[in-house]
Structures are given as C-alpha cells and as structure tokens.
Amino acid sequence: MATSSSPRLLSSFLGDRLLSARPVLHGNAPGSRRAAYQATRTLCNLVDILFNRGQSDKPGDNPRRLRPGKLSPRLSVPNHIQRPPYVNARQRPGLNNGPEIHDERGIECMRASGKLAAQVLKFAGTLVKPGITTDEIDKAVHQMIVDNGAYPSPLGYCGFPKSVCTSVNECICHGIPDSRPLEDGDIINIDVTVYLNGYHGDTSATFLCGDVDDRAKKLVQVTRECLDKAISICAPGVEIKHIGRTIQDHADKFKFGVVRQFVGHGVGQVFHAEPVVLHFRNNEWGRMTLNQTFTIEPMLTVGSINPVIWSDDWTAVTEDGSLSAQFEHTILITEDGAEILTQCEEVVQYTEEQIRKAEESIRIRREAEPVELVEAVKNLRKIFRREEKRRKELPLELKQKVSYEIMQLLRDLGDNSTFAEQHEAVESWRLDKLKDIRSASIQNSTKLDLSNEEARILKRALQFNWHVLMEDIGRWIPLEVSHTEHDDKPENEPEEEEIIAGPPLPSQCNAELHTDYDGAAVRWGLTHPKESAADCCQACLDQAKNAKPGELRCNIWVYCPSEFGCFSPDKYEHKHQECWLKQADHPKLNFKDKYSESYRNSHPTAPVVVPWMSGVIST
C-alpha cells in the first residue's frame, strides 16, 4: 500500500501531517566522500486545502468514468486474531523513524506474512470477471485472511473502512470497495496487506477484466516490467534513488507517466516505515541495508500523472480520467541481492532457448564463484556458532569465588612479583582447577562444592573464555611490556613545528598539544565529529553562547587529531576527529605530553605520546 511523497499532496494512510524532508545527515571521514544516511520524513493530509473536490465529485461526460458506489457495513475480525497497534487507537500512526531491519526470526515472520499476502492476492485475481462487485472481492479477501489467523492491515488504518484496496481504471490507488460491478474491459488493481504474527506483508497487482484493449494491456505489462527491473537492481549498499531512475527510464520508453505523489515504504512490524521509495528520477540520499524490508510499488498512467482525491479522503484518480496501473512487492535485501517476499509460486513454461541461456548463466556464475573462500567462511561461521553456544554467563556468586581465589593467589606472591610471575601463577591455578573439575566429574565427586551445572559452566569458562572471564572479573594481567624511548635526531637540530590539520585556532581556544582535560561532558562526544580542532573549539564556544539557563556551559574542548584514534582512561574507543565538549569549574589535566607508565602497562597498545589536542576556553 503506497504512501504519499509530495509535500503538497495527500499522505495516503499516514494521517494529518505534512511530508517534508529533514536535512540529510552526513558523516565525514578523512580522505573519503560523504557517507549519506537516510533522511527522515513525516507525512500529512491536506486534502481540503490542496484539492478541488468540486472537480473530483463531477466525473464529467465520459460514461466510463469511475463513480462512487454504496458502501456495505465494516466487516468484523475474530477477537483471537492479533491486531496492529493502530487499530482503535486515538492517535493516527505516522511514518516510523528508521528502517525495518530484521534478525533471523523477523525474517521468517516477514516471509510468512509475505507468502500469505501473495496467496490472498492470487486468489483475489481469480475473482476478477465482469459483473462482480469490488465489495464482493473485499468480503472474499477478508474471509481468507482471517481464516489464516491474520488481520487485514488496511481495515481501520486511519479510518479506512475496508480490508483491501480495489482501484479500477483511472483510480491510481486506495480505491474503497463498494457496490460498483466490474465491466468488460476494466482493469483493476487489488492491494493486499496482511498482519500475521506481528508483521505486515504488502503486495498488489493489476488484473484484466474480460476483453481489455491493447493500450490498457500494454500499460499493465510495462508497469509490471518496471517493478521487476527495479527489484533486479536492489542489493546491500545500492542507493535507493536508483529504483526511481530504473522505473522512470523504462516507463519513458513507452511514453507512460510515473505518478510522483505516492511512494513505496519500509514495512515490517509497522505498516509504513523508512525509507521513502520514490518511483521517479530523484536525488534523495539513502542506501539499502542487509536484512532490510521495504515495498516498491510503481504507478504508471496513460495520461496525466496528477491525482485528484475524492471526498472520501482516500480514492486517488487521475486528473484527466486516463488509465492507471500498479504492481507492488515487499522485498528483503539479502547478501545476493533481493528476495521477493510476496512472490506467488507459479508454474512457468520456458522455451528451450530460455533454458539454454539459464544453464549457461549458471555455469558462468559457478566457474567465477570463489569456492574455497565460501567454504572457509562457512566453516568460520560454524566455529563462531559453537563458541557462542559454549559461552554462558557465570553466576555472580561463582564469579566472586573465582575472583577471591585469584586475589589470594596474587597476594601470596607479594608486591615485588613481576607480571611474568603473576601470569605463570594464575595460569597454573587455571590448569589445576580444570584438572580438579575433570577429576570430580569422572569420580562423580562433590569435593569442589559446586553443582554439576556450575562445574560445567566454570569448565567452559576456564577452557574457552578464560581471557573474557579475567576481564569480566577485573583481574586482567597485562604482559610485561618494555617501553623504550629513543631520539635519532642529530644534535643541535632545531625542533620541527608540529602541524595540525585545519584552519588556525582562535586565541581564546588556548590550544595545547598532547593533552586531555578532565570535566563533565556537555555534549556526548561519540556522536560529535569535527573536521578540525578549530571546528571543535568553535563548537564549544557556540554551545557556551547558546546554552540555556541552568545548562552546563562548555569551557573545555578536547579533540582527537590522530588517524589511529586516541586513548583515555575509560572504556570508550575514541576515533579520529572526535570532539568532546566539557565543563569543569576547575579544569585539570588528565594527561600531558606522555601517558604514565602505569597507564601504558594496563593499555599495552597505547602510544607513548598522548595524541589529544585540547584547551580551556577564555571567558
């Protein structure tokens, strides 16, 4: 089911909010182009202001023009069937901020809902014939959905009164099933969405009713081809805008128009989510992500691409009454491309030439496949899965017992023991403990004062996850590292001036090289990258200037200019171009010039020289 893309048009199924693009977010990395992230959208319904309803309610002189029929009462759904959150909700649902990306369970649920939606759509297509009303199609579809334990997603969505959308002839989308019978020569799009086990499956197709003219057949055929071609280019990392370009390019060849105001969308646990998928050429940012699900649902017309909305606030028809066709699939982005979740399995007859070409394609792909690499990756995945199964958290009481025993062991060694002696003693304790556990297990003894389950968990921790356990209980002992400093520079050689990338820093920044100041974070550093130290300092000055009464005001800026990242006495990994904004009444240095020997002993990979650059703002 489509949503609306235009900031000046109806926002299909998404309530009374305006569709407007927020600024695109960019992440800048040194030496690389901007990485674009999907811009978030919100949607709005402005029908009364933006559409001439007088025009829409007067179909004109064409006797074939679509007219509203009578609506039957809303159908009921058994109480035991799970309902989407928006059903009977007071607040209208909006576009969910963020794409629908699934784990293994979510993918299986999406496959199940997609399969059911495809089966329902195929069944609905068999009902299309002259004389049947769209209301009868709705009732049959509704019954099939609830018989399979699912909920018809459109029913009750923002007040939509039916379980399926039926869009006949010039209706672009969101047609409400009513008493109008289909006529010979009609085309009808049936849009089915089911909500099964907490996940939506969304699909639609345009069917021919009786003897349809060649132009209508061509429109339906090309629309289907546009969808197929768009799906074929989908894969992880592909820019979403290529979908629109692919559809527009193919439609242009046959001089068909592409409707712009209704779009594809993310779908999954929510009905409409990011991304917004435009079906025409565009320059929107955003890339496809592995395990992401969304719909592609191009709508093509013979004439005008401008929609007019009926007074029911749903039915969208072409402005000039020209025919419109639509096809839709829900797809899953996989490692190999895209999986169509709403594909209905059909028996297809291929010619000998098609079979030969398919076999040749398979042969070429197999010859190019890196078989050894694929096998190695499979084996690694098996190993990782086994390791994950082996890992089980030690109970707190058992963890404390291990910690006390190791602490006592280290105390017995004395304060003058070396790292090597500590390592040797702890390793000997580990091996002895493993030997005791194995011996107790063989003799079915309880001398360890552990239950069988605790002994099994401890054995695995000592055998496979020893380093993780040591870090977890805070007893990690670093290898003894010898830090040797040297200076190969000739005598009397003048010191080289250190060059920091970026514009010069203002004097009030009071920049110091190789320092890290203490203080409370004013703005979370891990999400605050800056291209230069000057930009970081300016961010501090701006924050202090604009801070509201009672808020912390930045007076310390700390910047990481090192391409290898920076170290500090906490658990976070600080990356290149990371900027911290801090505040302290009495700023003091964490580090200056060099890390202490004790810090480098506990962080063997830390450099000798502190890579930070910082300063205390002058007021």
- Cβ contact 281:247 at 8 Å: no
First-to-final CA distance of the chain: 57
Give 273-276 contacts, CB < 8 A, sequence gap 24+: 273/95, 273/96, 273/98, 273/99, 273/100, 274/38, 274/40, 274/41, 274/95, 274/96, 274/97, 274/98, 274/99, 275/38, 275/99, 275/240, 276/3, 276/5, 276/41, 276/95
Please spell the DSSP secondary structure of 98-150, one letter per residue: EEEE--HHHHHHHHHHHHHHHHHHHHHHHT--TT-BHHHHHHHHHHHHHHTT-
> For 238, how many CA atoms within 13 A lie in the half-sphere containing its CB?
23
The residue whose two tokens read 């000046």 is: 8
State how far the Cα of 555 lies from the Cα of 571, in Å rounded to an integer.
Answer: 24
| 285 HSE (CA, 13 A, CB side) | 15
| Pairing outcome for strands 41-42 and 20-21 | antiparallel
Distance CA 160, CA 165 (A): 9
250 annotated to bind ligand: no
Q: Confirm or deny that 265 is annotated as ligand binding.
A: yes
Calculate the CA 318 to chain-centre distance. 34
Q: How far apart are CA 10 and CA 21, in angstroms?
A: 15
Q: Does 174 carry a binding-site annotation?
A: yes
Q: What are phi and psi of 433, to 5 degrees?
A: -65, -40
388 is in an annotated binding site: no
CA distance 284 to 341: 25
* Distance, CA of 204 to CA of 154 (rounded, Å): 13
Using CA atoms of 457, 463, 466, 468 in order, give the dihedral in degrees to the nearest 10.
-60
* Residues annotated in a binding site for a divalent metal cation: 191, 202, 265, 297, 328
* Residues annotated in a binding site: 174, 191, 202, 265, 272, 297, 328
* Residues annotated in a binding site for substrate: 174, 272
